[in-house]
Structure 1
């Protein structure tokens, strides 16, 4: 008696291709996993995927003599032309101050320059420091001008000490066109009038 074998259904080509693809993809994934495990064990992977280190932070700005800094332990006069703080003063202001200095010397008064010309970066640094100190820009502006408003940046202002020199200039400075321009800064002087003229009314502070 003959048995008729039940025919095995043929696998369609499309299904066969999918199976082959699954096998290939599985092999690739297994291979990649093996590589990753190896790299993790050896530490190479950690080095390879380590995030790029951020750029080193910029060094904080430190003003120098080239920016107009006059060091607190340095005695500077209007004769120190080698210093940018003096050399870059407005010529009219520098001349008026030297004329006043000569006459003040006859009264036994010596001028010391504590600050003259400053560049934008130095002025910004001073302003930012004032903001930190006073806790707000509004208050800081009363004592330190921004670079855009500062007469020091343009070379039209000079700070003078000691006290007797300040008082002498407050009393006699207008004869040379020199005036105290801020009521809260007796050391800050500008050429604000013609020699022998009347000084304008002082501003309350650097904010004006």
Structure 2
């Protein structure tokens, strides 16, 4: 005689209902917890706001003379934040920096006494020279016009002190740097390839 196949069905049915009830209750609890969390803003943290950009530097009140070396402080070839240095032609600046590093090994420090100039700055220098020497013709031997000055285009640099000039006169061509005028041992331009030969010097800025 076989067992009655329906003998255990009520027991199995009775087990299923408590499981469904427990699952439903658990889901409800999760939903309640999520809703409460949303209300308190703890489900996801708000990403932090990006940092504010730095405030722009105050404008230089010197206007057209902003490329003047700062009073009381000599510029080096590495003071690129100053317009007189930072706005030099990139190839010229790189050559001067290389030379400065090598000169330092010989105990010689480069200083930039004048670098890139605005056209207004150059004209002011020419006017001052004209007043000093009494004529524009004589002044032009020392200060070029804004339209011809390599300082205005950022392709000339004046180096000091004298021992640095002397070092660069002797070694400048190794970096492509050449003294341009015989009456200005401090004025250098990038006029040849490194290791090349510098062109003949001009008598003065007037040519």
Q: TM-score, normalised by structure 2?
A: 0.68
Q: CA deviation at 1:65?
A: 7.8
Give per-residue Cα distances to partners, 1:4-37, cap 9 Å, x unaligned.
xxxxxxxxxxxxxxxxxxxxxxxxxxxxxxxxxx
Q: How many Å separate the matches in 2 of 1:64 and 1:183?
A: 33
- Structure 1 runs of 4+ aligned residues shifted over 2 Å read 62-67
How far does residue 72 in structure 1 lie from its aligned partner after superposition? 4.7
Whole-Å separation in 1 of the counterparts to 2:182 and 2:70:
25
Give the aligned partner of residue 44 of structure 1.
Answer: none
Q: Give the Å deviation of 1:147.
A: 0.2
* Matching of residues 1-208 of structure 1 within 5 Å: 67-208=66-207
Contact preservation (8 Å) 2:65, 2:121: no
Query: Where in structure 1 are there 5+ consecutive unaligned residues?
Result: 1-61
Query: CA shift at 1:63, angstroms?
Result: 5.8
Partner of 2:4: none
Partner Cα separation in structure 2 for residue 179 and residue 127 of structure 1? 23
CA contact (8 A) 1:85 1:116 kept: yes
Provide the rounded CA distance (Å) in 1 between the counterparts of 2:177 and 2:142.
20
Question: In structure 2, what is the Cα distance between the partners aligned to 1:168 and 1:72?
Answer: 26
> Equivalents in 1 of 2:186, 2:63: separation in Å?
22
CA contact (8 A) 2:175 2:193 kept: yes
Q: Per-residue deviation at 1:68?
A: 1.2
Q: TM-score, normalised by structure 1?
A: 0.68
In structure 2, the partner of 1:38 is none
In the alignment, structure 2 segments of 5+ residues that lack a partner are 1-60
Per-residue deviation at 1:66? 5.5
1:51 — aligned with what?
A: none
Give the Cα separation in 1 of the matches to 2:170 and 2:71.
26
Structure 1 residue 67 displacement after superposition: 3.5
- The 3 A distance-change label for structure 1 pair 137 and 65 is closer
Q: State the secondary structure of the residue aligned to 2:123.
A: helix
Deviation of 1:78 after TM superposition, in Å, equals 1.0
Distance 1:152 1:137 in 2: 19
Counterpart CA distance in 1 for 2:73 and 2:145 is 25
